[in-house]
């Protein structure tokens, strides 16, 4: 066991904490995908990432993948979406922001459960959906 092992029951973690870790996990996967897909300066890499990681984009992506989610995953998404956050997105409305929070909570949940296979399936769906929006 190391200090990086997460030894908690994902069902006992608050939805905003799930979204907090999910945001970081999602961002890391997206940045890795973009960096391996294109060769460009960091400023352009950051701009390219926004089509995947902005609340507005994540809201659109969720609507495209929601039918692929299990009942358990939908329940986690709803916990995240319905959690009352004291922050809001700069470039999205409150509905989009809450949907994005729900998606991030789901990603955090799968990460904490160490369900890497399903986590990567969902992130792959997110990438495919964002790419198809171009």
- Record the tokens describing residue 111, joined without a space: 């990460």
Residue 63 contacts residue 92 (beta carbons within 8 Å): no
- Record the tokens describing residue 132, joined without a space: 């198809």
> Which residue is catalytic, options 5, 9, 23, 93?
23
DSSP code at position 68: G
Annotated active-site residue 5? The verdict is no
Residue 103 contacts residue 64 (beta carbons within 8 Å): no
Active-site positions read 23
């Amino acid at each position: 066991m190391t200090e990086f092992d997460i030894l908690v029951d994902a069902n006992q973690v608050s939805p905003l904490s799930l979204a907090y870790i999910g945001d970081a996990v999602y961002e890391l996967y997206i940045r890795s995908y973009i960096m391996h897909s294109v060769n460009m300066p960091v400023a352009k890499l950051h701009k390219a990432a926004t089509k995947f990681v902005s609340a507005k984009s994540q809201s659109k992506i969720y609507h495209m993948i929601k039918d692929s989610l299990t009942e358990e995953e939908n329940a986690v998404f709803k916990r995240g979406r319905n959690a009352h956050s004291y922050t809001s997105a700069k470039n999205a409305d409150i509905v989009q922001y809450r949907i994005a929070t729900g998606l991030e909570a789901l990603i955090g949940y799968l990460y904490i459960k160490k369900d890497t296979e399903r986590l990567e399936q969902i992130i792959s769906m997110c990438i495919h959906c964002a790419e198809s929006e171009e």
